[in-house]
Homo-oligomer: A and B are copies of this chain.
């Protein structure tokens, strides 16, 4: 795939692989354990392949002991990816502020139409953008 960022994003572009990472974020695990939740959807070799993709992207590390491969999360590529995204954060934050501002203006206009002049404007909550 070439450059590291591309490899990272490509690895993240699959729900199975993201689920595996999520699972690994609360502790390491071996392949069969990691595979279990998916074995109704796909075969074991399929999971092995996903793990290989994650490994190539540096998102996990496999260490073998006896017949088990223990997989653990490596966060460095996630850091890199987040760093890249951060450059856009200021853009959407300024958009948020503009949005809020316009909404406030709009509300002010509405209030003026309905009850022209004279009650104090209640300031709405800003940035209550989303409930996860």
Binding site for B on A (CB under 8 A): 1-3, 5-10, 12-15, 18, 21-22, 25, 73, 75-76, 78-79, 81-89, 91-92, 95, 132
CB distance from A122 to the nearest CB of B (A): 28
Are A3 and B15 interface neighbours, CB within 8 A? yes
Q: Cα distance A6–B13 when bound, in Å?
A: 4
Tell whether A73 pairs with B85 under 8 Å between CB atoms, given A1-B13, A6-B15, A9-B12.
no
Chain A interface main SS type: helix
Enumerate the 3 nearest inter-chain pairs by beta-carbon distance, A residue then B residue, closest first: A9-B13, A10-B13, A75-B92
Can you list 23 A-B pairs, Cβ within 8 angstroms, ordered by A? A5-B15, A5-B18, A6-B13, A6-B14, A8-B13, A9-B9, A10-B13, A13-B13, A18-B84, A21-B88, A22-B87, A25-B87, A25-B88, A25-B91, A73-B91, A75-B88, A75-B92, A75-B95, A76-B92, A78-B85, A78-B92, A82-B86, A82-B89
